[in-house]
């Protein structure tokens, strides 16, 4: 039985363990997954909603979050053709330049483009429920191995109740040239989307994955999303996460990459533009000798949005390196909190790790907080952090206005210039264009 044939789930407050077990079996899931869901549901009920007494949550207010009032899923009908998809989804599919795409609406597989060539090369790219049924040997050893179920209440919820999600497995030595793309869309009928993405690249594999999230809005919603990435020796992954939820959404996303293989490389690129309150965290584990990561994050907080960005580079292997760069603008009463941690454990010799965060505040009511931290337990390393927050330079504004530009046009030019250094680091031209479009939308 698929998710789209099921009735609306009860509210989280009314969901019983026995009902969850029954549903898992109706979906045709193996017993190990049913047991994992039940164990995670128990931990979800035990764990507290994060509050300001917890250090890494102390700048975000979750008291208004009606967590237990949300439903787990809303069944959605598949689309017969690309023309039937919402305009925003079609635009995302067209601009990414991806030959292989998967679309989910309210957690239900709704559209697929391409995939036959990937299958011939041994690449598995499908929704996670299909992967569990058709490739259980590939999923069981990896799902839940990177992100602990009880990292926080939201990762426990994702483990227990994911319906949406994707699976990507690239076998040894295979390079996928064109980007792969997933789109998660929330319809006006849905109040919650809970998903899981699992990515495994074997030795010497390489690919690019673009994941986008957006929706129609119209009602308060919840998104809970966990991404797990495992890279073998010499594997290279470029991962793009674009969050453009409507401003009725409470969004909680945690992404974690395990660079277990020697000389593995992970490039992250994040765009944080949507949501009412959006918590986006990632953790990169540098384990294999010579493992390397790079991350760029672009954000724009406006209206009454609150973006909470928590990014960590953990180094345990020898000669590993990481570079973290965050840059964003704030308008209205928007707020962004950036917390960046570098942790270098004993034995991680010759580590090189850096982080930088820069924010441009466009209006008086907006606010940015940067909280960089270094935890170093080894001598033979290089590590540093930097952070700046400032307003539009009045002298630059005066100069441009003296050349006949309006204040609004001059401000837009300054903001574009502010973002330019980080835009040059975004790994794909199509992604850069989409980031620029969303920045222009905010400025307008």
The whole-angstrom separation of Cα 399 and Cα 36 is: 62
* Three-state secondary-structure class, residue 387: strand
Q: Would you call 419 helix, strand, or coil by DSSP? A: helix
At 8 the pLDDT is: 59
Identify the helix (H) or strand (E) that includes residue 118. Answer: helix 116-120
Beta-strand pair 381-391/206-215: unpaired
**Confidence (pLDDT) at 96:** 56
Give me the residue spans of the domains in the chain.
73-443
As a whole number, the mean pLDDT across the chain is 93
Arithmetic mean of pLDDT, 380-387: 96
Mean pLDDT, rounded, for 176-196? 91
Mean pLDDT of 332-357: 97
Question: Residues 382-387: what's their mean pLDDT?
Answer: 96
What integer is the mean pLDDT of 100-121? 89
pLDDT over 80 at 77, yes or no: no
Q: Is the pLDDT of residue 63 over 70?
A: yes
DSSP string across 12-44: GGG--HHHHHHHHHHTT--HHHHHHHHHHHHHH
Lowest mean pLDDT among 25-29, 221-225, 285-289, 309-313: 25-29
Residue 161 and residue 37: Cα distance in Å, rounded?
7
Model confidence at 98: pLDDT above 70 = no
Report the range of poorest mean pLDDT among 7-11, 183-187, 255-259, 363-367: 7-11
Query: pLDDT (tens digit, 9 = 90+) per residue, 417-441?
Result: 999 999 999 988 889 999 999 999 9
Unique residue bearing structure tokens 């045709």: 28
Predicted pLDDT at 95? 63
Burial class (CB in 10 A: 0-12, 13-18, 19+), 425: middle
| DSSP string of 232-251, one letter each residue | -TT-EEEEEEEEE--TTEEE
Sheet holding 277-286, edge to edge: 124-127, 164-170, 192-201, 221-231, 249-259, 277-286, 306-315, 335-344, 367-376
């Amino acid at each position: 039985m698929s998710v789209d044939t099921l009735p609306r789930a009860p509210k989280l407050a009314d969901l019983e363990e026995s009902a969850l077990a029954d549903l898992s079996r109706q979906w045709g899931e193996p017993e190990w997954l049913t047991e994992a869901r039940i164990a995670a549901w128990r931990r979800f009920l035990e764990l507290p909603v994060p509050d300001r007494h917890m250090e890494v949550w102390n700048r975000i207010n979750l008291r208004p979050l009606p967590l237990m009032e949300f439903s787990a899923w809303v069944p959605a009908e598949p689309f017969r053709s690309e023309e039937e998809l919402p305009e925003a989804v079609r635009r995302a599919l067209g601009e990414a330049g991806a030959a292989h795409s998967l679309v989910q609406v309210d957690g239900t597989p709704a559209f697929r483009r391409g995939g036959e060539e990937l299958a011939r090369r041994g690449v598995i790219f499908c929704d996670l429920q299909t992967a569990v049924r058709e490739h259980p040997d590939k999923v069981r050893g990896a799902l839940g191995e990177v992100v602990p179920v009880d990292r926080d209440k939201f990762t426990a919820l994702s483990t227990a109740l994911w319906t949406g999600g994707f699976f990507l497995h690239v076998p040894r030595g295979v390079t996928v040239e064109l980007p792969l793309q997933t789109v998660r869309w929330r319809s006006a009928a849905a109040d919650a989307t809970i998903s899981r993405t699992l990515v495994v690249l074997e030795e010497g594999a390489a690919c690019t994955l673009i994941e986008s999230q957006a929706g129609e809005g119209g009602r308060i919603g919840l998104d809970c999303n966990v991404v797990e990435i495992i890279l073998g020796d010499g594997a290279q992954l470029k991962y793009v996460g674009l969050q453009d939820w409507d401003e009725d959404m409470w969004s909680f996303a945690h992404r974690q990459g395990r660079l277990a293989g020697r000389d593995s490389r992970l490039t992250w690129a994040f765009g944080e533009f949507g949501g009412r309150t959006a918590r986006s965290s990632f953790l990169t584990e540098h384990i294999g000798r010579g493992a390397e990561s790079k991350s760029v994050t672009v954000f724009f907080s406006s209206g009454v949005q609150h973006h909470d960005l928590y990014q960590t580079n953990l180094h345990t292997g020898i000669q590993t390196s990481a570079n973290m760069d965050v840059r964003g603008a704030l308008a209205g009463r928007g707020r962004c909190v950036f917390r960046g941690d570098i942790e270098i454990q004993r034995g991680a010799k010759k580590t090189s790790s850096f982080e930088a965060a820069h924010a441009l505040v466009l209006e008086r009511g907006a606010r940015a907080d940067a909280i960089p931290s270094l935890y170093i337990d080894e001598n033979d390393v290089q590590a540093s952090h930097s952070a700046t927050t400032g307003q539009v330079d009045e002298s630059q504004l005066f100069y441009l206005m003296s050349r006949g530009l309006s204040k609004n046009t001059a401000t837009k030019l300054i903001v574009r210039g502010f973002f330019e250094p980080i835009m040059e680091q975004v790994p794909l031209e199509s992604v850069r264009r989409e980031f620029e479009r969303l920045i222009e939308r905010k400025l307008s």
